[in-house]
Amino acid sequence: MSLAFLFPGQGSQQPGMLHTLPAGPAVTDTLAEAQAVLGDLGVAGDVDTVAALRDTTDVQIALVIAGAACARALIRDHGLTPAFVAGHSVGAFAAAVAADVLTLREALVAVRLRGDLMRAACEGRDWGMGAVTGLPTAAALRLAEEIKTADDPLWVANVNSATQTVLSGTAVALTAAADAAKWMGARSFDLLDVSVASHCPLQDETAQRVAEHLADVPDRTPTARYLTNVRGRSVGTAAQIVDDLANAVAHPVQWYDATRLMAELGATCAVQMTPGRVLARLLTSAVPSMTAIALSDSDFESAATIARRRSGTG
């Protein structure tokens, strides 16, 4: 029996998400620390306003702050000890903070660079991401292959479950994919609240630049096993974690593999950090035997009580 922490990525953001975090010593300290870092980076104003969340960099920064604050509250204020951490896309940086591989400052500086590079890679065209639900992974792969063209590329970006796959591509390609998905029997095709195309070759340079930046991070011993985005595997060294943090932006997220592996390795309960509850729902679908708690539906004390009981941790 053991506990996992899950950290959401882009598409989960909500206006005011940092201002509505439950009060507590760890949350207060984390928000103050983050504000000092953002001031040093020249980031003016709140990063969770409606206007700010139109920018991919601010979205990613806000998600990392929220994830780190929630994890610290559960660990420091409520005595939980995660055996595993898993972050979806940029959520992986918050997972690395929770596992003591990155400091919050290091994570925010890296994510600021990551977001700016991702935006630059997509300048000049309309790009985005869309979730296909109701088709097996193989069918979604075939859909992307059939729709893509040299002028309007389309890639598989996330394998979230046995029947949900996220695609990245141009707006033209995503529109065509939405029409084709209906004909193939998909239950839905939903455009995500993401202004860039991620987890695809368009972001190769982003991955390279982030890897170069993270090369200077000190080698720290992780306090939890980390589930990778790129291969959906469990790793336990800082070098492996940093490699995944850098390279995931240019490769599909293997979330379905990661969640099933957690259960195989002994995880019996997982807590999704705010915002949202998508990762908790995906986990319940993939591994019905595990208990999944979304902090968006619970306060810290209640979530911690359930997590202790279901995972034997704390």
CA dihedral 293, 296, 299, 301 (to 10 degrees): 30
Every domain of the chain with CATH number 3.40.366.10 lies at: 2-121+201-311
Q: Which helix (H) or strand (E) holds 291?
A: strand 291-294
Interatomic CA distance for residues 230 and 37, integer angstroms: 28
- Residue count of the chain, please give it: 314
What's the confidence (pLDDT) of residue 305? 94
Q: How far does the chain reach from its first CA to its final CA, in angstroms?
A: 12
265, with CB counted inside 10 A (0-12, 13-18, 19+), is: middle
Q: Which helix (H) or strand (E) holds 49?
A: none
For the chain, how long is the longest CA-to-CA vector? 53
Task: Enter the tokens of residue 219.
Answer: 């080698």
| b (16+ CB within 10 A) / e for 57-87 | bbbbbbbbbbbbbbbbbbbebbebebbbbbb
Every domain of the chain with CATH number 3.30.70.250 lies at: 127-191
Q: Give counts: helices (H), strands (E), the chain.
A: 11, 10
Interatomic CA distance for residues 36 and 129, integer angstroms: 32
What's the confidence (pLDDT) of residue 312? 83
Number of alpha carbons in the 13 Å side-chain half-sphere of residue 49: 5
What's the confidence (pLDDT) of residue 314? 62
Long-range contacts of 234-242 (CB under 8 A, 24+ apart): 234/84, 234/261, 234/262, 234/265, 238/101, 241/96, 241/99, 241/101, 242/96, 242/101, 242/211, 242/214, 242/217
Catalytically active residues, by annotation: 89, 199
- Pick from 189, 200, 212: which is nearest to 89 by CA? 200
At the topology level of CATH, where does 127-191 sit?
Alpha-Beta Plaits (3.30.70)
CB 196 within 8 A of CB 122: yes
What's the confidence (pLDDT) of residue 151? 97
Digits of tens for pLDDT over the chain (314 positions)?
A: 899 999 999 999 999 999 999 889 999 999 999 999 999 999 888 999 999 999 999 999 999 999 999 999 999 999 999 999 999 999 999 999 999 999 999 999 999 999 999 999 999 999 999 999 999 999 999 999 999 999 999 999 999 999 999 999 999 999 999 999 999 999 999 999 999 999 999 999 999 999 999 999 999 999 999 999 999 999 999 999 999 999 999 999 999 999 999 999 999 999 999 999 999 999 999 999 999 999 999 899 999 999 999 998 76
What's the confidence (pLDDT) of residue 45? 85
What's the confidence (pLDDT) of residue 44? 80
pTM above 0.95, yes or no: yes
What's the confidence (pLDDT) of residue 1? 80
Which CATH number is associated with domain 2-121+201-311? 3.40.366.10
What's the confidence (pLDDT) of residue 40? 94
CB 205 within 8 A of CB 121: yes
What's the confidence (pLDDT) of residue 99? 98
CB 280 within 8 A of CB 294: yes
